[in-house]
């Protein structure tokens, strides 16, 4: 039974816990098979238990752990497997598992920071939809007969709102279903590499989010490459592995082209200098320093730490930019609905008063 065909995936946190537990057990002197048995008994995921059972069977039959993991490349990924492979061949498996744990933890923290920057704007959006929905479907229908029954001219905002309200009552389910179908269609089309590449390229040039996206990709690129080089993997192989771990297709393509250039004997910095929009000058300069001193891994890991500190600022700036826009949109919608309801009531009271 191959779980890759079942599209089973481990989260970053699950991979991190697996690597950390295995590292602790091996460092304490425990045999690999015994450690895998303990991890299998501790895990709650039935699918993951099946994978660990297959790992145990392969290791018991004399295979290296990296070979066993390679059967589940879709679950663990090349980065995870290659760090294990290098650790086994160099006798530093526990150290590499520690590096792997730290890296997966960093990636998980980066994802949380990016998601965290969007929590408040999404909350405002949900509140706007909720308030507007209550006014549209519960409050306005009760006073609509009164407004239309009075022989007074209704304000433009009210007439527009009546049209919108009528449309939502008559065709709301169809409109909602259409939006769902559009979303599903978009994500289906997003599976086409050429379309996904265009979307990724567009996002890298979209003013509001481009800095955050570039920072996140530079962190993933520099940390993965630096860690692979530190583990003893040759630069061309490290670049190829790093390319396969990147989710942004623009960066994936550029790093793959970078690997081809290095394979031909060109320095990394020579290619990076041609792409200042994707690879910042500070990164390129640190690569030049690393190439000249023979400490490329240290230079790249140093700049990855710099980008991580920058991420806090870019996500904060993104959040600070989006929040007032969302508040203005929320205020505008609620104000429009309130005016559409209150203005005719005020007009009616004035008419009755006369």
**Extended strands (E) in 206-287:** none
pLDDT at 149: 66
pLDDT at 268: 92
Closest to 213 in 3D by CA, of 226, 225, 222, 200: 200
Closest to 308 in 3D by CA, of 82, 108, 101: 108
Cβ contact 273:284 at 8 Å:
yes
> In the chain, what are the domain boundaries?
3-91, 105-354
The yes or no reply on domain 105-354 and CATH 1.20.81.30 is yes
pLDDT at 202: 93
Cβ contact 209:318 at 8 Å:
yes
The reply to whether domains 3-91 and 105-354 share a CATH topology is yes
pLDDT tens track of the chain, all 354 residues? Answer: 444 434 567 888 888 899 999 999 888 888 889 999 999 988 888 888 889 999 999 999 999 999 999 888 888 888 888 888 888 887 888 888 888 888 888 888 877 877 777 777 778 778 877 877 777 777 777 777 776 666 667 778 878 877 887 787 778 788 889 989 998 998 899 889 899 999 999 999 888 788 888 888 898 899 889 888 888 888 999 999 899 888 899 999 999 999 999 999 999 999 999 999 999 888 999 999 999 998 898 899 888 888 887 777 777 777 777 777 877 887 888 788 778 777 777 766 666 555
Cβ contact 113:311 at 8 Å:
yes
pLDDT at 147: 67
Integer Cα distance of 242 and 176 in angstroms: 41
CATH class of 3-91: mainly alpha
* Phi and psi angles of residue 31, each rounded to the nearest 5 degrees, phi first: -70, 150
pLDDT at 6: 45
Encoded tokens for 249: 């297709």
């Amino acid at each position: 039974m191959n779980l890759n065909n079942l599209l089973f995936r481990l989260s970053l946190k699950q991979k991190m816990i697996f690597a950390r537990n295995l590292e602790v057990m091996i460092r304490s002197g425990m045999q690999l098979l015994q450690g895998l048995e303990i991890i299998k008994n501790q895990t709650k995921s039935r699918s993951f238990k099946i994978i660990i059972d297959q790992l145990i069977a392969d290791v018991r039959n004399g295979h290296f752990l990296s070979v066993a993991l390679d059967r589940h490349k879709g679950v663990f990924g090349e980065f995870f497997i290659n760090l294990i492979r290098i650790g086994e061949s160099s006798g530093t498996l526990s150290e590499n598992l520690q590096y792997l744990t730290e890296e997966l933890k960093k990636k998980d923290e980066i994802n949380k920071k990016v998601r965290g920057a969007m929590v408040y704007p999404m909350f405002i959006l949900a509140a706007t939809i909720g308030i507007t929905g209550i006014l549209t479907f519960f409050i306005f229908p009760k006073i609509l007969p009164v407004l239309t029954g009075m022989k007074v001219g209704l304000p433009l905002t009210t007439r527009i709102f009546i049209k919108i309200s009528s449309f939502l009552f008559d065709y709301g389910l169809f409109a909602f279903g259409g939006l769902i179908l559009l979303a599903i269609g978009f994500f289906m089309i997003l599976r086409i590499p050429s379309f996904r590449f265009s979307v990724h390229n567009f996002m890298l040039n979209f003013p509001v989010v481009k800095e955050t996206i570039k920072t996140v990709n530079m962190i993933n690129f520099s940390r993965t490459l630096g860690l692979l080089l530190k583990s003893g993997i040759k630069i061309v192989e490290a670049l190829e592995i790093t390319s396969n771990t990147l989710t942004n297709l623009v960066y994936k393509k550029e790093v793959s082209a970078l690997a081809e250039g290095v394979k031909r004997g060109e320095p990394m910095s020579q290619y990076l200098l041609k792409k200042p929009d994707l690879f910042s000058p500070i990164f390129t300069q640190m690569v030049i320093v690393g190439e000249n001193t023979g400490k490329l891994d240290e230079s790249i890991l140093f700049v990855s730490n710099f980008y991580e500190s920058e991420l806090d600022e870019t996500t904060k700036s993104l959040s600070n930019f989006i929040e007032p826009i969302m508040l203005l949109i929320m205020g505008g919608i609620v104000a429009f609905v309130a005016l559409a309801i209150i203005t005719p009531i005020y007009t009616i009271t004035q008419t009755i008063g006369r």
